[in-house]
């Protein structure tokens, strides 16, 4: 199992994992009655020049993002693209670690791609 350099903070609704080896990228870990959801913000939707074109790109290329999905969520009156993955509550630590590292790599790849679609 991979060893991760992380810091963990517990807030009122989730755990926040700071990925020290990945530019301090924060991940939110949410526990529901049925699953563990791990997500991270990519960018505000309003920073994308043509959201329809970007959304189509994401939908067409979803299969190349193993274990992760991309969505839009609202935070304090602003919409953000997020990358997320979900696991069973019965997942092993190795499975959770794999999900976290894969999500981080996918999120960084998506963030890089957003540069092509960003408003300049």
Tens of pLDDT along the chain (120 residues) come to: 567 788 889 988 889 999 998 989 999 999 999 999 999 999 999 999 999 999 999 999 988 898 999 999 999 999 999 999 999 999 999 999 999 999 999 999 999 999 999 976
Look at residue 4 in the predicted model and tell me its pLDDT: 78
Domain that holds residue 96: 6-117
H/E stretch holding 108 reads helix 93-117
Q: 76-96 in b/e burial notation, b at 16+ Cβ within 10 A? A: eeeebbbbbbbbeeeeeeeeb
The reported pTM is: 0.88
Side-chain half-sphere CA neighbours of 91 within 13 A: 19
Asked if residue 113 belongs to a domain, the reply is yes
pLDDT computed for residue 1 by the predictor:
54
Count the alpha carbons within 13 Å of 113 in the hemisphere toward its beta carbon. Answer: 17
In a domain, residue 11? The reply is yes
CATH code for the domain in which residue 52 is found: 3.30.1460.10
pLDDT at 11: 83
Residue 23 falls inside a structural domain: yes
In a domain, 1, yes or no: no
Residue 68 pLDDT: 95
Tell me if 83 is assigned to some domain: yes
Domain count within the chain: 1
Tell me what pLDDT residue 108 has. 95
So what's the pLDDT on residue 2?
61
Query: What gap in Å lies between CA 96 and CA 99, rounded to an integer?
Result: 5
């Amino acid at each position: 199992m991979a060893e991760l350099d992380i810091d963990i903070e517990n807030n009122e609704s989730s755990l926040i994992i700071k990925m020290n080896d990945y530019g301090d990228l924060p991940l939110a870990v949410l526990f529901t009655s049925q699953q563990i959801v791990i997500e991270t913000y990519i960018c505000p939707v309003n920073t994308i020049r043509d959201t329809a074109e970007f959304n189509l790109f994401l939908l067409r290329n979803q299969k190349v993002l193993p274990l992760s999905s991309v969505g839009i969520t609202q935070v304090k009156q602003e919409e953000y693209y997020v990358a997320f993955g979900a696991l069973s509550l019965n997942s092993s630590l190795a499975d959770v670690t794999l999900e976290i590292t894969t999500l981080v790599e996918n999120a960084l790849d998506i963030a890089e791609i957003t540069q092509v679609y960003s408003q300049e």
